Amino acid sequence: MINNEIALRNTYDMLALLNSGGCRSWVQDGTLLGLVRDGQVMRWDHDTDIGLWTPTWKPACWSWLENAGFTSHSVLGTEQSGWQQRWTRNGVKTDIFFYYTDDAGNYWHSAYLRNTVEYRFTYAPFKLTTIETTTGSMPAPDPPEHFLETKYGPDWRTPKRQWHFATSPLNSTKVQ
């Protein structure tokens, strides 16, 4: 079980660091789901999730995160396509999912099953808003409910006991 206080602090700090340096990022996926639905990170989750516009990434972001006590755990994919970074601080993991734009103008990011099998998650274009948490305001897709419905379906408010991060989302496609 995740420590909600540490998870929220890590997410808040990482978003503040990245955004203050011009790396546009936001809370997403299971972390956003927990914050919107339950007002906290889901206790059974094993990490937190952040999205980031790939064109805004700067090499300096890496050292900013390290200077704030985050440790790089792994890097999957490439910066040019399907990049994902995994970081830890105080025993809580955070995934950064890098967003790209496809030929139709939709946004997508990748995640990796067993660090090798790539899945892509596609979203209609969205802007960012802020959501309030006990730690402070965090950027999130606008509206968060539409983002959550795209991934989890119209019944996203109902917890699902059988959920797989790669194969369960409605917007998931396995990359061949």
pLDDT of residue 161: 80
CA distances from 107 to 8, 26, 133, 149 (A): 25, 14, 26, 15
Residue type, 99: Y
Q: What angle, rounded to 10 degrees, do the helices at 4-20 and 59-67 form? A: 140
Contact 56, 24 (CB under 8 A): yes
pLDDT tens for the chain, 176 residues: list them.
Answer: 899 999 999 999 999 999 999 999 999 999 999 999 999 999 888 999 999 999 999 999 999 999 999 999 999 999 999 999 999 999 999 999 999 999 999 999 999 999 999 999 999 999 999 999 999 999 999 999 999 999 999 999 999 888 999 999 999 999 97
Contact 52, 8 (CB under 8 A): no
The distance between the two most distant Cα atoms of the chain, rounded to a whole number of Å, is 41
Q: 5: how many CB neighbours lie within 10 A of its CB?
A: 14
Query: Got the DSSP string for the chain?
Result: ---HHHHHHHHHHHHHHHHHTT--EEE-HHHHHHHHHHSS--TT-SEEEEEEEGGG--HHHHHHHHHTT-EEEEEEEETTEEEEEEEEETTEEEEEEEEEE-TTS-EEEEEEETTTEEEEEEE---EEEEEE-SS-EEEEEESHHHHHHHHH-TTTTS--SS--TTTSSTTEEE--
pLDDT of residue 160: 87
